[in-house]
Structure 1
Amino acid sequence: MSTVPMWAQIVVAVLIAAGGLFALVAAWGLARLPDFFLRMHAPSLAYTLGAWCIAGASVLYFSMLGERLPVRGWLIPVFLAITVPITTSLLARAGLFRAREAGREDVPPPLG
């Protein structure tokens, strides 16, 4: 017999399913989108949102199970929220540099 209430188990199950769906959408976008810049955008948003859903489910379940808020469960999505935009920006700049070096005309010119 579980000590977690049924409403919490339902919310946890919905959050886990939503996190898996976001990861699936991100992987599908990564495989199907035609351009590097579009492929870079889909995983950075969807994987981060999926990680937040999974972390929310974990925190809710273990807080109901142990009667206290498990703070360590929030560390992964917080670090993802900090590092993913920085990594995405660096990848975009590298892709833009490579596109300019290749002579593509569909990229904007440098600012300076």
Structure 2
Amino acid sequence: MRATEVLDDVGDVAILGGALWSLIAGIGLLRLPDVLTRMHAATKPQVLGLLMVVFGVALRLRDANDITTLILVGLFQTWTVPVAAHMVARAARRRATKP
């Protein structure tokens, strides 16, 4: 096997793993009972899934422009999701929402 084939296979596994994590996040959004646990399901596994997909796509594409764009996507996602989750949790606590 050549190195490019190995990188393609590792990229495929990372993309499938990321898709699985994103699926788990979606199921968690539907199944969990309250706002705070749903928020947890919407942020942690979804971001991990997206980063795994970005990593897998970067391994498959291997072009400098594409990798730079994918790095920016990953960085912006990791910067904005915690802030959004914090604001949702703060609003839910202030309203004292119940399921």
TM-score bucket (shorter structure): 0.7 to 0.9
1:33–1:39 contact (8 Å) kept in structure 2: yes
Percent of counterpart pairs with the same letter?
A: 31
Query: Aligned-pair distance for 1:93?
Result: 0.4
Q: How many residues align?
A: 96
**TM-score after normalising by structure 2:** 0.88
Give the match for residue 110 of structure 1: none
Give the match for residue 92 of structure 1: 89
Q: Which has the higher helix share?
A: 2
**TM-score after normalising by structure 1:** 0.78
Query: Aligned-pair distance for 1:53?
Result: 0.5
Structural RMSD (CA): 2.0
**Which ranges of structure 2 fall in alignment gaps of 5 or more residues?**
none
Q: Kindly report structure 1 stretches of 4+ aligned residues shifted beyond 3 Å.
A: none
Higher RCO (C-alpha under 8 Å, 6+ residues apart):
2
Residue by residue over 1:11-49, the C-alpha shift from the partner in whole angstroms, topping out at 9 and shown as x without a partner, is 011001001100100001100001111001111001100
Structure having the higher Rg:
1
